[in-house]
Amino acid sequence: MSVIIKNLSYVYSPRSPYETRALDGISLEINDGDFFGIIGHTGSGKSTLINHLNALARVQKKYNENATLEVCGIDLTAKKPNLKLLREKVGMVFQYPEYQLFADTVKADVGYGAKNLGLDKEEIEIRVRDAIAKVGLNYDEVAERSPFELSGGQKRRVAIAGVIVMRPELLILDEPTAGLDPRGKKEILDLVHSLKQTCPTIVMVSHNMDEVADCCNRVAVLGGGKVTGIYAPQELFAHRELINSLGLELPTVTELAQYLAQRGLPVSPSVIREEELVEALLKR
Protein backbone atom coordinates (compact mmCIF):
# COMPACT_ATOMS: atom_id res chain seq x y z
CA MET A 1 0.00 0.00 0.00
CA SER A 2 1.52 3.31 -1.07
CA VAL A 3 -0.64 5.66 0.96
CA ILE A 4 -2.90 5.04 3.95
CA ILE A 5 -4.91 7.99 5.22
CA LYS A 6 -7.42 7.69 8.03
CA ASN A 7 -9.41 10.49 9.54
CA LEU A 8 -7.03 13.28 8.50
CA SER A 9 -8.00 16.90 9.17
CA TYR A 10 -6.27 20.21 8.56
CA VAL A 11 -7.17 23.73 9.63
CA TYR A 12 -5.77 26.92 8.08
CA SER A 13 -5.30 30.02 10.26
CA PRO A 14 -6.59 28.35 13.44
CA ARG A 15 -8.14 30.61 16.09
CA SER A 16 -8.39 33.56 13.70
CA PRO A 17 -11.36 35.07 11.85
CA TYR A 18 -10.09 33.29 8.75
CA GLU A 19 -10.07 29.82 10.31
CA THR A 20 -10.92 27.31 7.55
CA ARG A 21 -11.18 23.57 7.85
CA ALA A 22 -9.58 22.47 4.57
CA LEU A 23 -9.60 18.75 5.37
CA ASP A 24 -12.30 17.27 7.53
CA GLY A 25 -11.72 13.63 8.41
CA ILE A 26 -10.31 12.35 5.11
CA SER A 27 -9.83 8.59 4.74
CA LEU A 28 -8.52 6.85 1.65
CA GLU A 29 -5.98 4.27 0.51
CA ILE A 30 -3.83 4.35 -2.58
CA ASN A 31 -2.57 0.95 -3.72
CA ASP A 32 0.76 0.20 -5.35
CA GLY A 33 0.28 0.51 -9.10
CA ASP A 34 -2.73 2.85 -8.90
CA PHE A 35 -3.14 5.80 -11.18
CA PHE A 36 -5.15 7.65 -8.62
CA GLY A 37 -7.14 10.75 -9.56
CA ILE A 38 -8.20 13.44 -7.10
CA ILE A 39 -10.95 15.76 -8.27
CA GLY A 40 -13.12 18.43 -6.69
CA HIS A 41 -13.76 22.09 -7.35
CA THR A 42 -11.52 24.91 -6.14
CA GLY A 43 -11.38 25.02 -2.36
CA SER A 44 -12.37 21.37 -1.90
CA GLY A 45 -9.04 20.50 -0.24
CA LYS A 46 -7.15 18.81 -3.09
CA SER A 47 -3.94 20.78 -2.73
CA THR A 48 -3.94 20.56 1.05
CA LEU A 49 -4.31 16.81 0.75
CA ILE A 50 -1.45 16.27 -1.69
CA ASN A 51 0.76 18.65 0.28
CA HIS A 52 0.46 16.15 3.13
CA LEU A 53 1.82 13.35 0.96
CA ASN A 54 5.33 14.77 0.95
CA ALA A 55 4.96 16.62 4.24
CA LEU A 56 4.80 20.15 2.87
CA ALA A 57 1.76 20.32 5.10
CA ARG A 58 2.45 18.58 8.41
CA VAL A 59 -0.09 16.63 10.38
CA GLN A 60 -1.59 19.01 12.95
CA LYS A 61 -1.51 17.23 16.32
CA LYS A 62 -4.39 19.21 17.71
CA TYR A 63 -6.91 18.16 15.09
CA ASN A 64 -5.60 14.64 14.42
CA GLU A 65 -5.62 12.62 17.61
CA ASN A 66 -6.92 9.47 15.90
CA ALA A 67 -5.49 10.05 12.44
CA THR A 68 -3.23 7.82 10.35
CA LEU A 69 -1.01 9.11 7.56
CA GLU A 70 1.40 6.61 6.12
CA VAL A 71 3.17 7.32 2.84
CA CYS A 72 5.52 4.74 1.26
CA GLY A 73 5.87 3.04 4.61
CA ILE A 74 6.72 6.21 6.54
CA ASP A 75 4.46 7.18 9.43
CA LEU A 76 3.92 10.93 9.16
CA THR A 77 2.05 11.23 12.45
CA ALA A 78 5.28 10.24 14.23
CA LYS A 79 7.11 12.88 16.21
CA LYS A 80 10.11 13.05 13.88
CA PRO A 81 9.42 11.23 10.64
CA ASN A 82 12.33 10.78 8.24
CA LEU A 83 11.44 13.60 5.86
CA LYS A 84 14.60 13.27 3.79
CA LEU A 85 13.73 9.67 2.98
CA LEU A 86 10.11 10.62 2.34
CA ARG A 87 11.06 13.26 -0.19
CA GLU A 88 13.30 10.80 -1.99
CA LYS A 89 10.39 8.43 -2.29
CA VAL A 90 7.68 10.94 -3.15
CA GLY A 91 8.17 13.11 -6.22
CA MET A 92 5.94 16.15 -6.52
CA VAL A 93 5.33 17.96 -9.80
CA PHE A 94 3.57 21.21 -8.90
CA GLN A 95 1.19 23.17 -11.06
CA TYR A 96 3.11 25.16 -13.67
CA PRO A 97 6.36 23.36 -12.71
CA GLU A 98 8.30 25.33 -15.35
CA TYR A 99 8.15 28.35 -13.01
CA GLN A 100 10.59 26.47 -10.83
CA LEU A 101 13.30 26.08 -13.43
CA PHE A 102 16.34 28.05 -12.31
CA ALA A 103 19.66 26.68 -13.56
CA ASP A 104 21.75 27.87 -16.52
CA THR A 105 21.51 24.61 -18.40
CA VAL A 106 18.91 21.88 -18.73
CA LYS A 107 21.48 19.37 -17.49
CA ALA A 108 22.15 21.30 -14.27
CA ASP A 109 18.48 21.90 -13.63
CA VAL A 110 17.50 18.26 -14.05
CA GLY A 111 20.50 17.10 -12.00
CA TYR A 112 19.85 19.39 -9.03
CA GLY A 113 17.62 16.98 -7.12
CA ALA A 114 19.93 14.03 -7.77
CA LYS A 115 22.90 16.08 -6.57
CA ASN A 116 21.07 16.80 -3.31
CA LEU A 117 20.56 13.08 -2.80
CA GLY A 118 24.35 12.95 -2.41
CA LEU A 119 24.93 10.71 -5.41
CA ASP A 120 28.33 10.60 -7.07
CA LYS A 121 29.04 12.33 -10.36
CA GLU A 122 28.77 9.33 -12.65
CA GLU A 123 25.49 8.21 -11.11
CA ILE A 124 24.07 11.74 -11.48
CA GLU A 125 25.14 11.83 -15.13
CA ILE A 126 23.47 8.46 -15.79
CA ARG A 127 20.28 9.50 -14.07
CA VAL A 128 20.10 12.89 -15.81
CA ARG A 129 20.53 11.26 -19.23
CA ASP A 130 17.90 8.71 -18.33
CA ALA A 131 15.40 11.28 -17.00
CA ILE A 132 15.80 13.54 -20.02
CA ALA A 133 15.26 10.57 -22.35
CA LYS A 134 12.21 9.47 -20.34
CA VAL A 135 10.48 12.83 -20.80
CA GLY A 136 11.04 12.51 -24.54
CA LEU A 137 13.79 15.07 -25.06
CA ASN A 138 17.06 14.52 -26.87
CA TYR A 139 19.93 14.80 -24.37
CA ASP A 140 22.51 15.95 -26.91
CA GLU A 141 20.19 18.66 -28.20
CA VAL A 142 19.03 20.15 -24.92
CA ALA A 143 21.59 19.32 -22.21
CA GLU A 144 23.72 22.44 -22.60
CA ARG A 145 20.89 24.83 -23.51
CA SER A 146 19.20 27.21 -21.12
CA PRO A 147 15.83 25.80 -19.99
CA PHE A 148 14.36 29.27 -20.51
CA GLU A 149 14.79 29.23 -24.26
CA LEU A 150 12.67 26.09 -24.70
CA SER A 151 8.98 26.05 -25.63
CA GLY A 152 6.27 25.86 -22.94
CA GLY A 153 5.73 22.12 -23.39
CA GLN A 154 9.49 21.43 -23.40
CA LYS A 155 10.05 23.49 -20.24
CA ARG A 156 7.43 21.45 -18.50
CA ARG A 157 9.16 18.25 -19.61
CA VAL A 158 12.44 19.49 -18.20
CA ALA A 159 10.73 20.31 -14.90
CA ILE A 160 9.21 16.82 -14.78
CA ALA A 161 12.61 15.29 -15.58
CA GLY A 162 13.98 17.15 -12.54
CA VAL A 163 11.53 15.20 -10.38
CA ILE A 164 11.82 11.74 -11.92
CA VAL A 165 15.62 11.99 -11.73
CA MET A 166 15.12 11.18 -8.04
CA ARG A 167 13.41 7.92 -9.10
CA PRO A 168 10.43 8.37 -6.78
CA GLU A 169 8.20 5.46 -5.76
CA LEU A 170 5.18 7.70 -5.73
CA LEU A 171 4.74 10.53 -8.22
CA ILE A 172 2.27 13.34 -7.59
CA LEU A 173 1.11 15.50 -10.49
CA ASP A 174 -0.85 18.68 -9.83
CA GLU A 175 -2.73 19.73 -13.00
CA PRO A 176 0.04 18.52 -15.31
CA THR A 177 -1.40 19.98 -18.52
CA ALA A 178 -2.82 23.31 -17.28
CA GLY A 179 -2.14 26.25 -19.56
CA LEU A 180 -0.69 24.28 -22.49
CA ASP A 181 -2.02 24.38 -26.03
CA PRO A 182 -3.75 21.24 -27.39
CA ARG A 183 -0.54 19.83 -28.85
CA GLY A 184 1.41 20.48 -25.65
CA LYS A 185 -1.41 18.90 -23.65
CA LYS A 186 -1.35 15.78 -25.76
CA GLU A 187 2.44 15.51 -25.50
CA ILE A 188 2.37 15.80 -21.72
CA LEU A 189 -0.49 13.30 -21.46
CA ASP A 190 1.43 10.78 -23.57
CA LEU A 191 4.40 11.44 -21.30
CA VAL A 192 2.30 10.89 -18.19
CA HIS A 193 1.16 7.54 -19.61
CA SER A 194 4.74 6.50 -20.31
CA LEU A 195 5.86 7.57 -16.81
CA LYS A 196 3.67 4.80 -15.45
CA GLN A 197 6.42 2.36 -16.49
CA THR A 198 9.07 4.26 -14.54
CA CYS A 199 7.02 5.15 -11.55
CA PRO A 200 4.24 2.63 -11.01
CA THR A 201 2.14 4.62 -8.55
CA ILE A 202 0.89 8.03 -9.65
CA VAL A 203 -1.48 10.49 -7.99
CA MET A 204 -2.94 13.18 -10.23
CA VAL A 205 -4.99 16.23 -9.31
CA SER A 206 -6.92 17.60 -12.25
CA HIS A 207 -9.84 19.79 -13.23
CA ASN A 208 -9.77 18.31 -16.67
CA MET A 209 -12.18 15.38 -16.63
CA ASP A 210 -11.03 14.30 -20.10
CA GLU A 211 -7.61 13.58 -18.62
CA VAL A 212 -8.97 11.91 -15.51
CA ALA A 213 -11.09 9.64 -17.70
CA ASP A 214 -8.09 8.92 -19.90
CA CYS A 215 -5.49 8.16 -17.21
CA CYS A 216 -6.92 7.08 -13.86
CA ASN A 217 -8.08 3.69 -12.64
CA ARG A 218 -9.55 5.10 -9.42
CA VAL A 219 -10.81 8.58 -8.65
CA ALA A 220 -11.44 10.19 -5.26
CA VAL A 221 -13.96 13.00 -5.25
CA LEU A 222 -13.39 15.72 -2.65
CA GLY A 223 -15.96 18.23 -1.52
CA GLY A 224 -15.87 20.54 1.49
CA GLY A 225 -12.75 18.83 2.85
CA LYS A 226 -14.32 15.37 2.82
CA VAL A 227 -14.05 12.38 0.50
CA THR A 228 -17.50 12.10 -1.07
CA GLY A 229 -16.62 8.85 -2.82
CA ILE A 230 -14.01 6.79 -4.63
CA TYR A 231 -14.98 5.46 -8.04
CA ALA A 232 -13.76 3.83 -11.22
CA PRO A 233 -13.96 6.53 -13.94
CA GLN A 234 -16.73 4.82 -15.95
CA GLU A 235 -18.79 4.47 -12.78
CA LEU A 236 -18.18 8.10 -11.75
CA PHE A 237 -19.03 9.73 -15.05
CA ALA A 238 -22.21 7.71 -15.52
CA HIS A 239 -23.56 9.68 -12.48
CA ARG A 240 -24.36 12.97 -14.14
CA GLU A 241 -26.19 14.39 -11.10
CA LEU A 242 -23.29 13.62 -8.78
CA ILE A 243 -20.82 15.37 -11.09
CA ASN A 244 -23.07 18.41 -11.47
CA SER A 245 -23.74 18.64 -7.75
CA LEU A 246 -19.98 18.84 -7.18
CA GLY A 247 -19.65 21.77 -9.58
CA LEU A 248 -17.61 19.59 -11.95
CA GLU A 249 -18.08 18.77 -15.59
CA LEU A 250 -18.32 15.50 -17.46
CA PRO A 251 -15.54 14.58 -19.87
CA THR A 252 -16.43 16.20 -23.22
CA VAL A 253 -16.78 12.73 -24.75
CA THR A 254 -19.20 11.56 -22.04
CA GLU A 255 -21.16 14.80 -22.33
CA LEU A 256 -21.56 14.27 -26.07
CA ALA A 257 -22.35 10.56 -25.64
CA GLN A 258 -25.10 11.31 -23.12
CA TYR A 259 -26.53 13.98 -25.40
CA LEU A 260 -26.57 11.59 -28.35
CA ALA A 261 -28.11 8.83 -26.21
CA GLN A 262 -30.83 11.25 -25.17
CA ARG A 263 -31.51 11.95 -28.84
CA GLY A 264 -32.19 8.23 -29.30
CA LEU A 265 -28.83 7.09 -30.64
CA PRO A 266 -27.51 3.73 -29.38
CA VAL A 267 -24.59 5.06 -27.30
CA SER A 268 -23.78 4.07 -23.73
CA PRO A 269 -23.89 7.07 -21.33
CA SER A 270 -20.71 5.88 -19.62
CA VAL A 271 -18.47 6.19 -22.68
CA ILE A 272 -15.26 8.01 -21.73
CA ARG A 273 -13.06 7.66 -24.82
CA GLU A 274 -13.45 9.24 -28.23
CA GLU A 275 -12.62 5.94 -30.01
CA GLU A 276 -15.32 4.12 -28.02
CA LEU A 277 -17.87 6.73 -29.06
CA VAL A 278 -16.85 6.51 -32.72
CA GLU A 279 -17.00 2.67 -32.61
CA ALA A 280 -20.48 2.74 -31.03
CA LEU A 281 -21.72 5.11 -33.74
CA LEU A 282 -20.12 3.02 -36.50
CA LYS A 283 -21.85 -0.15 -35.30
CA ARG A 284 -25.17 1.44 -35.87
In the bound state with other proteins, the residue whose beta carbon lies nearer, of 91 and 184, is 184
**Contacting residues toward other proteins, per CB under 8 A:** 18, 41-43, 151-153, 178-184, 207, 247-249, 252-253, 255-256, 259-260, 263-265, 274, 277-278, 281-282, 284
Q: How far is the CB of 275 from other proteins (least distance, A)?
A: 9
Q: How far is the CB of 245 from other proteins (least distance, A)?
A: 12
In the bound state with other proteins, the residue whose beta carbon lies nearer, of 87 and 185, is 185
CA distance 162 to 220: 27
Q: What is the DSSP string of 200-230?
A: SEEEEE-S-HHHHHHH-SEEEEEETTEEEEE
In the bound state with other proteins, the residue whose beta carbon lies nearer, of 74 and 260, is 260
In the bound state with other proteins, the residue whose beta carbon lies nearer, of 207 and 239, is 207
Q: Is 182 exposed, middle or buried (0-12, 13-18, 19+ CB in 10 A)?
A: exposed
Select from 29, 26, 23, 24 the least CA-distant residue to 3.
29
Q: How far is the CB of 260 from other proteins (least distance, A)?
A: 6
Q: How far is the CB of 207 from other proteins (least distance, A)?
A: 5
In the bound state with other proteins, the residue whose beta carbon lies nearer, of 169 and 249, is 249
Q: Where are the alpha helices (DSSP H) in the chain?
A: 46-53, 83-89, 106-116, 121-134, 139-142, 152-164, 182-198, 209-215, 233-238, 240-245, 252-262, 274-283
List, in order, residues 6 or more apart from 26 with CB less than 8 Å away: 5, 7, 8, 9, 45, 49, 222, 225, 226, 227
Q: How far is the CB of 205 from other proteins (least distance, A)?
A: 11
